């Protein structure tokens, strides 16, 4: 791993524990094991490090979403028509585990949770990624599933809320209990199964 990558990883780890505003360039350099002047050879300052963390998160999120079984857009109609319960469950688990355990996503989310009450710009990023934006993404998927006949013809926004709310709730419940992965998955599977029984077309 290059020094530049180590700086980014250590910065994100520190941001997730203290928040962006309480971490200084010297803290990041010390965590990496270099002097602060050496850090400036790779980044202009803390803001550029933060911007790189945002970019890294979006890259990671795109990779994960592309790897999940449900397509991101309604363009692949045949894929939606072939959707089954197991795919919905795997999609939910994949999304949950990404937000909960992925090193980049989890640390980025925790940093934003700390900072959202201090910084309106960071609060907007948090809401775009983990509140409104997340629901809008699921709404796009469920709109396509409604068109494909897999989901009942009901309000896709409400359906997206019903699907995403358990994921968000379980993140809050298990965030400080990483050892309870099996329990979290079992609870999520139960919720998603009930969701599919309610909305299956």
Segment 135-159, tens digit of pLDDT: 998 898 889 888 888 888 999 999 9
* Reported pTM: 0.83
Exposure of 44 in the CB half-sphere (CA atoms within 13 A): 4
Query: What does the pLDDT average to over 31-59?
Result: 93
The pLDDT score that the predictor gives to residue 1 is 83
Angle at 29 between CA 120 and CA 32, to 5 degrees: 110
Segment 51-109, tens digit of pLDDT: 999 998 888 888 877 666 454 444 444 444 556 778 888 889 998 999 999 999 999 99
């Amino acid at each position: 791993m290059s020094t530049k990558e180590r700086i980014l990883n250590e910065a994100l780890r520190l941001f997730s524990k203290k928040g962006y505003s309480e971490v200084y360039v010297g803290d990041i350099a010390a965590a990496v094991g270099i002097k602060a002047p050496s850090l400036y050879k790779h980044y202009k300052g803390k803001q550029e490090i933060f911007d790189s963390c945002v970019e890294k998160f979006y890259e990671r999120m795109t990779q994960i979403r592309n790897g999940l079984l449900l397509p991101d857009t309604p363009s692949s109609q045949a894929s939606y028509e072939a959707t089954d319960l197991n795919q919905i469950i795997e999609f939910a688990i994949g999304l949950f585990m990404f937000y909960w355990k992925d090193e980049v996503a989890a640390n980025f989310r925790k940093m934003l949770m700390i900072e959202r009450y201090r910084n309106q710009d960071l609060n907007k990023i948090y809401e775009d990624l983990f509140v409104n934006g997340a629901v809008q993404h699921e709404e796009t998927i469920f709109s396509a599933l409604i068109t494909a006949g897999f989901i009942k013809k009901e309000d896709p926004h409400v359906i997206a809320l019903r699907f995403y709310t358990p994921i968000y709730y379980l993140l809050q419940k298990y965030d400080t209990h990483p050892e309870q992965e099996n329990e979290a998955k079992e609870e999520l599977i139960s919720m998603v199964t009930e969701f599919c029984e309610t909305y299956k077309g």
